[in-house]
Amino acid sequence: MRNLALRLMYDGTDFHGWQVQPNGITVQECLQDAVEKILGVRESITGCSRTDAGVHANDFCCTLRTESSIECCRLTGALNAVLPDCVAVKSCKEVPLDFHPRYDCKSKRYLYRIWNSQAKNPFLKNYAWHYKSKLDADILNEQAKQFIGTHDFAGFCSSGSSVEDTVRTIYDCGVVRNGDEVDFYVEGNGFLYNMVRIMVGSLIEISEKRIEKDTLTAIIESRDREKAGRTAPACGLFLDYVSYGEAEV
């Protein structure tokens, strides 16, 4: 048995997320189909995260366990030839049998893109939240720093999650403006269900003055989902980078 780590990039617009679902096509299912076409067997595939419907990935890691002796570079090329254009395999590397893409992950970085202009941008319709009122990126950046550190993020988690431990460490977080685009980035050791989208929604509500400035720390401490802001739309969210530290997958 071999354990192969694949790095993917995908446009999540037409997917019902990563994980196989009864109703609707998912990235995992798509990849299983492609692997079956190439190797002739439906192999076990494990992902680093469960991205939601409409969420994208610039970088996603999953493992494929197989008895096949196919070379990694040949597998990459063959998979890319049969996968739909919205999914790409960036790399393939053989890793130890006990490597697990979720449990061995050291940190994940997310990017949330906001198109901040009165005018629509047809090219970003599926890749950014179109938010019309002018945002002050400097103020949002300053406010976002309250997320950094180890906190219980129970209030920044949508219901429907079965996770028991809601403590996560955020290493870095901020907001930058590039022309009419406002980007929120966050890196941490793990994220709860919809956590990044609720972080973004909360920052937006500071901008709208529905959440007072400098109160995010208190809102986090309250562990109360009602106190945090709304959930920002899925289309602006990208899993941007997944790090395995020295393992260098």
Chain residues in the site for its own copies (CB under 8 A): 9-11, 56, 80, 85-90, 119-123, 125, 127
- Three-state secondary-structure class, residue 164: coil
Pick 29 or 142: Cβ nearer its own copies: 29
Question: Is 52 an active-site residue?
Answer: yes
Q: Among residues 11, 14, 33, 52, which one is catalytic?
A: 52
Pick 68 or 126: Cβ nearer its own copies: 126
CB of 191 to its own copies, least distance (A): 22
Pick 53 or 139: Cβ nearer its own copies: 53
Q: Which of 134, 136, 113, 108 is nearest to 55 (CA)?
A: 113
Pick 128 or 173: Cβ nearer its own copies: 128
Task: Give Cβ neighbours of residue 139 (< 8 Å, ≥ 6 apart).
Answer: 206, 207, 213
Pick 9 or 72: Cβ nearer its own copies: 9
Any alpha helices (H) in the chain, and if so which ranges? 27-39, 72-82, 137-144, 195-207, 216-222
- The secondary structure of the chain in percent helix, strand, coil, rounded to multiples of 5, reads 25, 30, 45
Find the angle CA(25)-CA(5)-CA(78) to the nearest 5 degrees.
65
CB of 60 to its own copies, least distance (A): 11
Pick 102 or 130: Cβ nearer its own copies: 130
CA distance 130 to 29: 30
From the centroid of its chain, how far is CA 244? 15
Kindly report the backbone phi and psi dihedral angles of residue 212, in degrees, each rounded to the nearest multiple of 5, phi listed first.
-75, 150
Q: Which of 104, 9, 3 is nearest to 63 (CA)?
A: 3
Contact predicate 65/114, CB 8 Å: no
Kindly report the backbone phi and psi dihedral angles of residue 185, in degrees, each rounded to the nearest multiple of 5, phi listed first.
-125, 150
CB of 34 to its own copies, least distance (A): 13
One-letter amino acid for residue 213 of the chain: K
User: Which residues are part of the catalytic machinery?
Assistant: 52
